Chains A and B, each alone.
Chain A
Amino acid sequence: MAPAATLAAPRAEAPVLAPRKAQAPYPIVIVGHVDHGKSTLIGRLLHDTDSLPEGRLAELQKVSSQRGLELEWSFLLDALQIERDQGITLDTTRIWFKTAKRPYVIIDAPGHREFLRNMVTGASGADAAVLVTDAERGVSEQTRRHAYLLSLLGVTKVIVAVNKMDLMGHAEAAWQAVKDEVSAYLAKLGMQPLYVIPLSARHGDNIATRSQQMGWYQGPTLLEALDLLTPPAGRADATFRMPIQDVYRRGDRRMAVGRIETGRIRLGDKVEIAPTGQPATVASIDTGRGDGEQFARAGQSAAISFIEDAALARGQIIAPAGHMPHLALALRVRAFWLDSEPLVVGSRLTLRLTTAEHAVVVEKFERIVDVENLNDADTQELGQGGIAEIVLRSAAPIAFDPHTDLPITGRAGLARGTRIVGGAVVLGAAENAASVKGPVTAVDSSVDRAAFEARNGHRGGVLWLSGLSGAGKSTVAMGAQRRLFDDGWRVLVLDGDNLRKGLNKDLGFSPAERLENVRRVAEVAKLMAENGSVVLVSLISPTAELRALARSIIGDGFHEVWVKADVNTCAQRDPKGLYAAARDGKIAQFTGVSAPFEAPTSPDLVLDTAEFDIPTTTELLIAHIRRNLALDQADGHAVGI
């Protein structure tokens, strides 16, 4: 419901002219390597189309001469003092102009590698790009990187501007050389330049007016090329998707608010709400156009209520019945990385897919791209400005669309904590991963946790025993289990070696497989703990990432126990002869020998088996369990039996 206009703005007595419809400006980003002339080109374009506001040229002349420069066109956009002092663009900016055909908003982007995040910020808002390439220096590092990022950002309409032709004597051969090089690179990305225009930004050749110097060039000027661009296709005909931003209450009505990203919706439509798949029927639609709205379409911000009492929450996606997004626990994505700290296997990120947020772990790099030649790079980490294909794993199902089907619900920001450090387009669910098949609705247990606990006389929980092979994890766990069992406790042990004979027999010892190993064990332990059992997990779990994953899956009842003994002590014990085999090179990736063990930094309990004997450490573990998991007398329950 629109707020009623309480006072009409003053109006003329004269008959009102039919208001001319405002046309949306066509957003164009100007990208390319540092100093190749992007900002100059924009300044000149604005000037040559007579679009500069009054007084602006004089002001530019003044600030240029104050710095001992001839007229510096780039100062029109490089407005910050630091940009003018250093002669480079730091941050993206926008400027408006119009031709007889339509209005444009031109987005300037910095070419310096250090400011790639600002280039992405600018380019993400564009529908087409001008890739500026210096005729003298040719295709350079950021020319390629920017081209790659354009393809990831879905900006596939690209005009190439071969700039500084004045430095090359306006020779056709210079243009041809750049044209061949750029076209070959773009072709590998599945793109094709719409036009390759030889120009000189500083002198205004082939910007708005045809160059006198380059009669050999038959194609359009830059301005003509812009007017030849076709507008992007509308999104209203694609499958309906509305990610929920928030839930508002009006009286007893609850409304999902959000923006319709694709498709359309009308009253009475049957929908499903991902990821749970709960069905609902549209009861009302409010986009602020007044009462009685029947429809809404892509691009509109809407508030929608349903006939059913649906459980609504931010991050869910409303979809047509039978056309839910895909669901998966692991995604294959193509990502760009903007942070100075590199991304490595095991890194934890927040995947921000529309309004949903998922804690994910980098499970593996399928390929890190060498942007120079688009081959596989020989590296194990993704540095700033890098691009890679990655598998990301989540503990909860992620609703998504492959980005080739529906770009908006098929892309995501990547955050470290709350800081945005990269972006990704979703290629699909990771193969062989435990994808959630079809809509999943959790079934509630018929006996609740409190009832289990009341009968057992203790709470459920997970004691996660990590430590080197031979540190004594299994011995201590088995000892504690026996004692607690004899006292009437419901207690069981999940032992890493035993699990690898069954549940996990398909897994090896690579970082990704260790991750999956931990994920499965943690999920099983969690189920048992929820059903009232005390679970002793005996698993090397050598890295902080692995233990953090377990903690994130299990939640509150998780107790991190470090069964501590140094490598030498363990190697001396060597109950299974594994250390000897590892030292002989017969076992690869053996923790403590050829794979690292990261000591826990803040475990809930340390059992030092090098210092104390087994009965003592077992006693310590039992005491910890009783202290934390027994129900006390005050609750009316027995402690132990």
Chain B
Amino acid sequence: MRRLLLLALALALPSAASAQPGLGVKAKTGQGLYAEHCLSCHGVDGSGVTSASHPRGVLDVRGLGPPLKDVGALAADFYLTTGYMPLEDPHEQPRHTKSPFDKREIAALVAYVASFGKGPPVPTPHPERGDVSVGLSLFTEHCAGCHQVVAEGGYVTNAVAPPLHEATPVQIAEAVRVGPYLMPRFEKSQISDAQLDSIIAYVQWAKHPDDRGGWSIGRIGPVPEGLVAWLIAAVALVGCCVVIGRRVRQ
């Protein structure tokens, strides 16, 4: 009986989740979604919103949101699949979260944003053609300064360069060509598509590196190592001292 109830609950849950406010009848068309979720910041037909009440938005973006005229399907797909958009607060850095839209809605929005102008399409990377070793070199040269050499993320002036565990190959290819937030945009003259495949192969590899040496404590070097040295080794050894040094009462 209880099991039946649980089953019924489990079946009911997804429909409950998709019945979120705002994703109602109009949710079918890209235009409708855009009007509801994006228009306030990106303006009619992606013309952008420069607002006097928000003289400075994110970084160099003046106003609520930049124009989307020629960003194309590539940028739209990246910002939507990573959950960066819709942004809640234009003063905050977009973060990787679960998108409130489902696949069909994202496709509709991407198509709609792409229709604003002549932007690049969604890329199709081929990491299987890439070389992990070349990828490491390129990643160290172009990306490690922000994302850390094993792609564990790090601090850059006032922002997080996020860890890349969650990024899919397509998102990586997009990010490199878009340059979200304060990440630079890399042209094909700087990083060719073939090189990009190697970078993606490396990032995919770095999610589960061929590793040795036991429990990898974060793969970011000395900070967690220092914690282990103090909280495990030093504590254990002080414990040994206390036990061994216990007084003998004659």
Partners in one complex: no
B residues with a Cβ closer than 8 A to A are none
